[in-house]
Amino acid sequence: MKSFLITAGLSLFLLASCSKWLDERPQAMAEENFYTTNVEIESGLNAIYETVRYLSTFGGFYTIQHEINTEYMYGRGSFAPMNTYQGLDNNNVGRITDTWNNFYKGVRNANLIIKKAPLATLVTEADKNKYIGEARFLRALYYFHLVRNWAGIPLHTENNLDSINVPKTSADKIYELIESDLLFAEQYLPDNPRLVGAATKWAAKTTLAEVALTLKKYDLARRAANEVIESKKYSLVPVSVGADFEQLYGRDANNTSEEILYFKYSSKVSGQGYQYLAYLHASKTTHFPPGGFATIYSDSLNPFLKNWDRADLRYYFNWYPSDVGVPQKTTVLCKKFSDRQATVQAAANNDYPLYKYSDLLLFYAEAEAVSNNAVTADAVEKLNMVRRRAYGKPANTPDPSVDLAVGDFASLDAFVRRVVLEHGYESIGEGKHWFDLKRLGLVKEVIQEVEGLTVADKHMLWPIPPREFNGNTALDPTRDQNPGY
């Protein structure tokens, strides 16, 4: 049975195998009466993770929308308008409004810890720094997702905690806070999580590597990723057949050698199940017995899938054919996350793999090559490690049957594109590929090449929700709204 983050007092911490998540009690209490002891601060820390459980964030819709944005996935029903790449319609604006609100809810919970922990007289300085490091890590993580989707946004910190009317801050300034928070977190977070599913210094370094790639700070990205590699704490989980990937994504996958940071869900506790599976699977399938909506799907003749080597074990692990009522008869659904023991739609037991060691190796491969302005043997080796595992080979043993060589790449750009493709194969269904295409400026080119569609400029960002303009008088709906909305 999994162990996870839970709520409130010490007695509950002793039952960590029975529940994962916090309620929001800490933020409802008077600040002067809370955050004074280790138990209270840890309870408040656990509350920061609550936001990732919601359907509007990593529990479902947030991932769905980013998968539809890719060149290989399509949306059905009220998500279908996203297939045109012309921006969000009213239904999807409503969904991202909830995403916005819930990420900011996580930011507020983090700000409470950052503000109050230094004042806790019953907590040691070492513990204070550890707790603040975890809160700053989570604040950075939520802002990283906010800024990539909206660019400039209101900047809420511990210094304006009670302010409703906060002006729009540039994306550059948001990234400055993110980088500062992550540098603090990697210094003070522990090697091992205080609870399964909590952040560590290695999660902070991995996030910093992706942030640095996004900002094109390749030396920083290489440094952060290399420190994770050199820690020797992680390794790729070996596979010999496609089904072995269940060790990474299945209902019982937990705390493997590859898990840097997974968001934890549980079918055993009401309201804490992983809802995403109901939107991946069809109405009748053994992969998810309660059935689902098949909200997103792909086509085996889509070039991304058609060109995917069928000897790659990931292909057959990730896809299964299903007729979901669309014109093409070569429809496939994503089965990466399957729970064959689930009994209700909102209670899958799988976890969301925010960062796996394979992600980290590919971050390093890209950063190593670009920082050296050349395709290096080290960069290619990290790419090959991921490829070998994908073909059922030992990850650390050279294998000419699957290995790529430095000479296989005509240019640095060709290598970076191959790394991004490999990351796409690794992260199918995880909502990550869109961010790779976007940060490298490849979105319009790739969608035109694969789908024959022109991506509207407005589609590159989400609109600031109308509800934010109604409640925040420091924002001007004409001046501050993202272009095209």
Q: What is the pLDDT of residues 109-154, one digit of tens each?
A: 999 999 999 999 999 999 999 999 999 999 999 999 999 999 999 9
Whether 272 and 168 share a structural domain: no
Per-residue pLDDT reduced to its tens digit, 180-220: 999 999 999 999 999 999 999 999 999 999 999 999 999 99
Across 69-78, average pLDDT: 98
And the tokens for 321? 């054919």
Region of 251 (left: φ > 0; alpha: ψ -120 to 50; beta: rest) is alpha
pLDDT digits (tens, 9 = 90+) for 374-406: 999 999 999 999 999 999 999 999 999 999 999
Per DSSP, the residues of 118-138 read: GG-TTS-HHHHHHHHHHHHHH
The length of the chain in residues reads: 485
Backbone angles phi, psi at 393, to 5 degrees: -100, 155
Tell me, yes or no, whether 418 lies in a domain. no
**Would you give the DSSP letter of residue 274?**
B
- Using the predicted structure, report yes or no on whether residue 482 has a pLDDT greater than 90: yes
What's the alpha-carbon Rg for the chain, to the nearest Å? 22
Read off the pLDDT band of 346 (50, 70, 90).
confident
Q: Are residues 170 and 296 in the same domain?
A: no
47 falls within a domain: yes
Rounded to whole angstroms, the Cα distance separating 117 from 219 reads 33
Q: How confident is the model at residue 10 (pLDDT cuts 50, 70, 90)?
A: very low
The predicted pLDDT at position 461 comes to 98
Residue % of the chain over a pLDDT of 90: 90
Closest CA to 65 of 83, 49, 41: 83
With CA atoms as reference, report the closest residue to 62 among 19, 28, 18, 106.
106
Mean pLDDT of the chain: 93
Final residue of a domain: which of 189, 213, 230? Answer: 189
| pLDDT number for residue 9 | 34
How many domains is the chain partitioned into structurally? 2
Contact 474, 154 (CB under 8 A): yes
- Looking at residue 141, what is its pLDDT? 98
Report the pLDDT averaged over residues 41-45: 97
Amino acid at 139: R
Are 83 and 167 in a shared domain?
A: yes
Banded model confidence at residue 269, pLDDT cuts 50, 70, 90: confident
The set of residues, in sequence order, having a beta carbon less than 8 Å from that of 416 and lying 6+ positions away, is 366, 369, 370, 440
**Cα-Cα-Cα-Cα dihedral sign, residues 234, 239, 245, 247:** negative
Per-residue exposure over 265-278, b if at least 16 CB sit within 10 Å of its own CB, e if not: bbbbeeebbbbbbb
Residues 54 and 175 both lie in one domain: yes
Q: Is 170 a member of any domain?
A: yes
Strand ranges for 10-115 from DSSP E? 74-75
DSSP 348: B
Residue 16 has pLDDT above 80, yes or no: no
Could you identify the residue written with the tokens 């060149």? 71
* 45 and 173 both lie in a single domain: yes
Residue 54 lies in a domain: yes
37 & 161 share domain? yes
Q: Does residue 441 come out as left (phi exceeding 0), alpha (psi in the -120 to 50 range) or beta? A: left
Shared domain check, 150 and 40: yes
Q: How much is the pLDDT for 30?
A: 53
Q: What are 224-257's pLDDT values in tens digits?
A: 999 999 999 999 999 999 999 999 999 999 999 9
User: What CATH number is given to the structural domain containing 39?
Assistant: 1.25.40.390
- Residue pointed to by tokens 């080979």: 393
356 within 8 A of 348, measured Cβ to Cβ: no
Statement to judge: residues 48 and 182 lie in one domain:
yes
Q: What DSSP designation does 240 have?
A: S
**The two three-digit tokens of residue 128, written as one number:** 């204070």
Q: Which amino acid type is present at position 478?
A: T
What residues contact residue 348 under an 8 Å CB cut-off, 6+ apart? 251, 265, 267, 273, 274, 275, 276, 277, 278, 288, 337, 339, 342
pLDDT for residue 292: 95
166/286 same-domain check:
no
CB 296 within 8 A of CB 281: no
The C-alpha atoms of residue 51 and residue 29 are separated, in whole angstroms, by: 18
90 contact partners, CB below 8 Å, separation of at least 6: none
Residue 106 has pLDDT above 50, yes or no: yes
- Using alpha carbons, select from 263, 430, 423, 248 the residue that is nearest to residue 334: 430
Phi, psi of 433 (to 5 degrees): -65, -35
- Mark whether 40 and 183 lie in a shared domain: yes
Beta strands in 39-160 (DSSP E): 74-75, 153-154
pLDDT (tens digit per residue) in 455-464: 999 999 999 9
| Residue 258 within any structural domain of the chain | no
- Determine whether 2 is exposed, middle or buried from the number of CB atoms within 10 Å of its CB (0-12, 13-18, 19+): buried
At CA 34, angle to CA 37 and CA 12, rounded to 5?
Answer: 65
Is 296 within a domain? yes
Instruction: Please say which residue of 189, 206, 230 terminates a domain.
Output: 189
Residue 320's H or E segment, with its range, is: strand 319-321
d(CA 213, CA 215): 5
Mark which of 288, 313, 334 sits at the end of a domain. Answer: 334
Under DSSP, the state recorded for 119 is G
Residue 67 near residue 73 (C-beta atoms within 8 A): yes
Q: Which domain holds residue 319?
A: 265-334
Task: Specify whether 153 is located in the same domain as 299.
Answer: no
Banded model confidence at residue 15, pLDDT cuts 50, 70, 90: very low
Per-residue pLDDT, 101: 98
Does residue 4 lie in a domain region? no
Residues 182, 291 within the same domain = no
pLDDT of 32 = 56
Q: Say if 426 falls within a structural domain.
A: no
